[in-house]
Amino acid sequence: MPRKTLVRRRVAFAALVLTALVLMSVFFREPATGVLHSVQRTGFDVLSPLQGLASRAVQPFQDGYRWTKDLLHANRRNREMAAELEQLRGQLVLLEEARQENERLKAMLELRDAEIFPKGSTFVTARVIGRSPTRWQEWVEIDKGTADGVALNQPVVGATVPLDKSLSGKGLVGKVIAVGEHAAQVQLIIDPESRVAAVVQGTTERPQGIVEGMVPGKLIMDYVDRDKVVELKRIVITSGFGQIFPKGIPIGLVESVGEEDVNIYKQIEVRPFVDFSTLEEVMVLTNPVIVGEKLEDMRSVAPQQDMGTGSR
């Protein structure tokens, strides 16, 4: 390249760089009404109608482009949303479960204040976490133990929602027969080994007897004098004489009354208030008010049992 051309180019380069810098400097220093701003505004005024027209003209193409783009993404988005939906469904199930549990626990708290169970009773609510493997025994395992104030032979009652004045689901469940630090075994009243002193309400005679469990999961009230009148649908409650269950805990309703010539007692079938097959939460009466002997005395007599798992 000739030297003259090279020099001329360098001079032009320096001059244009300088001009650009001066323009920039002037632009920043001048007011909004300055020359450069005015030129820019004029250019804007000239070009903006063109841009407006172009914008309207291009709009259908832009829409078409966006539509195509959306269509291409639709399948992927659909898969993502399907996966998200499944995840949300899973969360919904968990939330529904939590809501129901919350409702049950709330009802149990309210039940504590209701006058269904003996006055002065205090409760420990517990969840059923295990069941007897066969119908030959009827027991459940709960998630509360000595650490929560649960002790041997404490009565256990049902706590089923909805909370209302009915006794359905709120009757006697059984008693604690083994206890660990954080779990306990509850013998249900339908267990063949269970015995509960009971009385039939509703008549002046108030016939008394022993409610026993029978395979498969029935309740029979035995040792009721034959000369006592027992009406159907009467409520059977604990009598408090068994030294374990306080007086007044509802057990069930008289379902049928049987008499045999060879038997000096009536045999009464009792339909329990508690549905043992769907038992989920229970309440352990931790300070049952016993008629007669003190519970502490009874506890000292009761055999000490562990929560051994070897027998299960």
Partner 1 sequence: MIPAWLADKGRLVLALVLAVVLQTIVTSQLPILGVTADLFLLLTVLVAIARGAGVGLVFGFAAGLTADIVFLEPVGLRTFIYLLVGYGVGWYVEEFGLQSAWMVVILAGTASLLSQAVYGLFQFITGSAGGLLAMTRLQILPAALVDGLLAAPLYLGLVRLRLLPRPDAGDPSFR
Q: Which residues bind partner 1 (CB under 8 A)?
A: 1, 5, 9, 12-13, 16-17, 19-28, 36, 39-40, 43-44, 47, 50-51, 53-55, 57-58, 61-62, 65
Nearer to partner 1, 12 or 147 (CB): 12
Facing residues of 157 across strands? 172, 283
Nearer to partner 1, 51 or 305 (CB): 51
DSSP string across 78-124: HHHHHHHHHHHHHHHHHHHHHHHHHHHHHHHHHHHHSTTSPTT--EE
> Least distance from C-beta 76 to partner 1, angstroms?
18
> Least distance from C-beta 71 to partner 1, angstroms?
18
Nearer to partner 1, 33 or 311 (CB): 33
> Least distance from C-beta 36 to partner 1, angstroms?
5
Nearer to partner 1, 43 or 120 (CB): 43
Pseudo-torsion of CA 68, 71, 76, 80, nearest 10°?
130
Q: Residue 196 and residue 156: Cα distance in Å, rounded?
A: 12
Pick the closest to residue 273 from 176, 198, 185 (CA basis). 198
Q: Residue 303 and residue 153: Cα distance in Å, rounded?
A: 10
> Least distance from C-beta 93 to partner 1, angstroms?
40
> Least distance from C-beta 40 to partner 1, angstroms?
5
> Least distance from C-beta 127 to partner 1, angstroms?
52
Nearer to partner 1, 38 or 122 (CB): 38
> Least distance from C-beta 70 to partner 1, angstroms?
16
> Least distance from C-beta 35 to partner 1, angstroms?
10
Facing residues of 299 across strands? none
Pairing of strands 155-158, 139-142: unpaired
Pairing of strands 208-214, 172-179: unpaired
Nearer to partner 1, 9 or 79 (CB): 9
Query: In one letter, which amino acid is 270?
Result: V
CB 144 within 8 A of CB 183: yes
Could you give the angle at the alpha carbon of 104 between the alpha carbons of 135 and 149, nearest 5°?
75
Q: CB count, 10 Å around CB of 210?
A: 18
Q: Which residue carries 């969360």 as its tokens?
A: 91
Nearer to partner 1, 2 or 303 (CB): 2
CB 168 within 8 A of CB 206: no
Q: Residue 3 and residue 21: Cα distance in Å, rounded?
A: 27
Nearer to partner 1, 24 or 72 (CB): 24
Pick the closest to residue 218 from 271, 172, 170, 156 (CA basis). 271
